[in-house]
Structure 1
Amino acid sequence: MVAAPRLEARVRPMTADDLPAVGALERASYEFPWSEGVFADCLKAGHGCWVLTVEDAVAGYGILSTGAGEAHILNICIDPAHRGQGLGRLLLVHLLAAARSRGAERVFLEVRPSNPVAQQLYRSLGFVEIGRRPRYYPARNGREEAIVMARGL
């Protein structure tokens, strides 16, 4: 048996040139996607914005807001074609390290109850549920609540 070659993945800062690829990935991943304008605003606002590349192509991204000793993961996504390979964990670990380096002592995020794979990833890295936000996410039949999770750094 021949082992599959290991993909070369790296995380680097997002630039405006990445916005078309990030937007395309967002649209491919979510029924109610952020617009490229929202990502551009995150860059302009100085949020931590990174892309994960595989073989130099954008295969994921993460957006992190920090302030007052806290961080909030605003968006994290891996290309459906690359899921299940540990890339989400790699990107999330990068976001946690970035939050720590920006002085955060605690990190928050929201996740859909209908996304158990993401919930498991977050739990495996120390996140715990601390509450719920009713009607937080747009959904096909109205709105879906969010599970709020947090962990210390």
Structure 2
Amino acid sequence: MTPVVRAYEPRDFEPLVALEAQLFGSDAWSPEVCALELHHPFSHYLVLDDGAVVRGYGGLRVPAGAGPGDIQTLAVHPDYRRAGWARRILNELVGHATKRGVPELLLEVRADNPAAQALYDSAGFHEIARRPHYYQPDGVDAMVMRLTLSQGEGVAR
């Protein structure tokens, strides 16, 4: 089956948590944190489904008011990287935020992850700050990036 990007469903929880642990190791969210995030009333999550298991996911927190949205996470299994799947998930998250009238999106990305930085940069995000030693236990800095949205925008380049 050709993989598809679709809305997160409760049946995706265990595969998503397993993929989170596989991809992020010591930085991985615990199952409890994943559950809180996935079920938060302002969260919007997508998964990359290959018909057998979740191969990627991305999440967005959209505020109830007029504040900025936050890309909470974006991850794709190594076998599915460099094929445009992360960009597709990101585009759909940006599109969702735009439809909801979110004025801007923020995210944090590891300072030692040039591939993710390049993806976000190519989508129009720009670094606005650094958070020293943000990612624990590794002590890696986070780059804070922002994308300003306008009505009709929503597709990353």
Map 1:123-142 → 2, pairs under 5 A: 123-140=121-138
**What is residue 42 of structure 1 aligned with on the other side?**
37
- Normalised by the size of structure 2, how large is the TM-score? 0.86
Map 1:47-86 → 2, pairs under 5 A: 47-67=43-63, 68-86=66-84
Q: How many residues align?
A: 145
**What is residue 152 of structure 2 aligned with on the other side?**
none
Map 1:67-146 → 2, pairs under 5 A: 67=63, 68-140=66-138, 143-146=139-142
Give how far 1:56 is off.
Answer: 4.9
* SS, match of residue 106 in structure 2: strand
**CA deviation map 1:116-136 (0-9, x unaligned):** 000000011101100111121
Residue identity (%): 37
Q: Does the CA contact (< 8 Å) of 1:128 and 1:151 recur in 2?
A: yes
Uncovered stretches (5+) of structure 2, i.e. residues with no partner: 150-157
Give the letter aligned to residue 113 of structure 2: N
**CA deviation map 1:40-71 (0-9, x unaligned):** 11232121111111245311111111113311
Give how far 1:11 is off.
Answer: 1.7
Uncovered stretches (5+) of structure 1, i.e. residues with no partner: 1-6
Q: Which has the higher contact order (CA 8 A, sep 6+)?
A: 2
* Aligned alpha-carbon RMSD (Å): 1.4
- Normalised by the size of structure 1, how large is the TM-score? 0.88
Give how far 1:39 is off.
Answer: 1.9
For residues 124 and 96 of structure 1, what CA distance do their matches in structure 2 show? 13
**What is residue 10 of structure 1 aligned with on the other side?**
4
Query: Which runs of at least 4 in structure 1 moved beyond 6 Å after TM superposition?
Result: none
